[in-house]
Structure 1
Amino acid sequence: MSPAAHVRSAPDRLVHKTVAAAVAESLRQRILIGELPPGTQLRQDALAEEFGISRIPIREALLQLEATGLIKIMPHRGAVVSGLSVEEVEDIFTLRVQLEPELLALSARRFSEENILELRSLTEEYSAALEAGEILRWGELNRRFHLDLLQHAERPRSLNIVAGLLQDCDRPTRLQLSASGDVARADREHREILALCEAGKIEAAADHLRSHIEHAAQSLIAIYRRALSA
């Protein structure tokens, strides 16, 4: 390739990368809000037509999404939106029910006034995001609340496990809240758990957290099963 040709191609590559990043972000948001549910096939030619661009930046965008775990590029099927099976959801929530209440019972006894204020601020932020319909923030704020409740348990290995489980729950949590309409209940239960901790009713707070997780699991599994039978 001549030097002149190389100079001409560099801007083209930059344009492709910039366009690919924009496409990846658009698809990422659609996946996260459930517009593109797990199992959806993402065809390069259809996406190129939808976005009005060539397949080159589409291919790059799909590779970016695969790197984040949002899609899988599979032989003979192409790009498919990734997701959890019903069995995986049941396993994740079973582990959460086993671990989180026990960790809260250990953690809440060590709460300082500053910890309580931070948790209260987080519940307000979560409540505002729920009321405003900011779906992309729901999973992250829920994860932060649960981890902040447990962070003083002094059980680093268990906390690492829970952090991974909550990360896996990020998209399912948004799906459960948006599909079930349980936003008011989720907000109320977070506030009730914190209020019990503030009152020193640690075992009651742990029991309430257990019920909170169990209800979310039952609701989400029902949604998954309805989708499978549709």
Structure 2
Amino acid sequence: MSRFKTRAQHVADDLRERILGGEFKGGTQLRQDALARDYEVSRIPVREALLTLEAEGLVAFHAHRGAFTTELSATTIRELFDLRVILECYVFKHSIPRMTAEDFARAGQILDEYDAALDSGSRIGNWSEYNWAFHRSLYQAADLPESMTIISQLNTKADRYIRMQLLYTREIDKAEREHRGLIELARQGRINESVNALEAHIREACDGIVAVLDNSVLTS
């Protein structure tokens, strides 16, 4: 059953495929006037489409310069996620023995809000923020502020890739189950299993987005 698409949705869907298909390389300026002529629409749906793609991590707006495609590098993704594994597993290992009932309750509350946003398909631009808030809630008890600062920076750099992984691999349910599993393993004090599960969670997210890039274009 076909779904009616607005002009903005049509432009966003087509631009998405053109970006991931390699027609627009990273750092390419997307001129709204030219796109409006290309798609035979006004600038308004083009602007809405670009904002959608910004939330998905494919487009970035630069002050006084306009919209540009973001750099999508599998090598960069793997490096960022490898660093996440090293540091986050280290901090999680130290955090688990010190987590309290309040820590687990806070992590669960954040996850409920995160799951609601994922399931509704809303607030896409905030998905990576929810993801970081959840992971941070698992790590804070370690009381390792220098490590947390670096982890926060890594997650900021990886945020668009995290959104893309959730959007394009169609594995939201899997991500939700894995998050719940991390809480439960940590609650039971099963440190090694918790850390192994976290490593698998991060690496599989990385593999998912790299696979999207390797496949070049999205399939509907």
Instruction: Give the TM bin, normalised by the shorter chain.
Output: 0.7 to 0.9
1:130 counterpart residue number = 118
Distance (Å, rounded) in 2 between the aligned partners of 1:122 and 1:71: 29
Q: Percent identity?
A: 34
Q: Quick check: 1:104–1:149 contact (8 Å CA) kept in 2?
A: yes
1:121 counterpart residue number = 109
Select 1:70's aligned residue among 60, 64, 68: 60
1:214 equivalenced with 2:203 (yes/no):
yes
Residue 120 of structure 1 aligns to a residue whose secondary structure is helix
Question: What's the C-alpha RMSD, in Å, of the aligned pairs?
Answer: 3.2
Select 1:140's aligned residue among 111, 129, 151: 129
Q: Quick check: 2:32–2:43 contact (8 Å CA) kept in 1?
A: no
Q: Quick check: 1:72–1:82 contact (8 Å CA) kept in 2?
A: no
> Which protein has the bigger helix share?
1
2:5 counterpart residue number = none
Note the residue ranges of structure 2 that are not aligned, 5 or more in a row. 1-7, 21-25, 48-53
Q: Quick check: 2:81–2:203 contact (8 Å CA) kept in 1?
A: yes
1:85 equivalenced with 2:73 (yes/no):
yes
Distance (Å, rounded) in 1 between the aligned partners of 2:144 and 2:181: 24
Distance (Å, rounded) in 1 between the aligned partners of 2:159 and 2:106: 21
Q: Quick check: 2:92–2:142 contact (8 Å CA) kept in 1?
A: yes
1:99 equivalenced with 2:125 (yes/no):
no
Distance (Å, rounded) in 1 between the aligned partners of 2:140 and 2:60: 28
1:109 equivalenced with 2:109 (yes/no):
no
Structure 1 residue 177, shift from structure 2 partner: 1.2
2:177 counterpart residue number = 188
Residue type of the alignment partner of 1:70: A
Between 201-210 and 186-195, report the one with greater CA deviation: 201-210
Residue type of the alignment partner of 1:169: A
User: TM-score, structure 2 length as denominator?
Assistant: 0.72
1:150 equivalenced with 2:143 (yes/no):
no
Structure 1 residue 224, shift from structure 2 partner: 1.5
User: TM-score, structure 1 length as denominator?
Assistant: 0.69
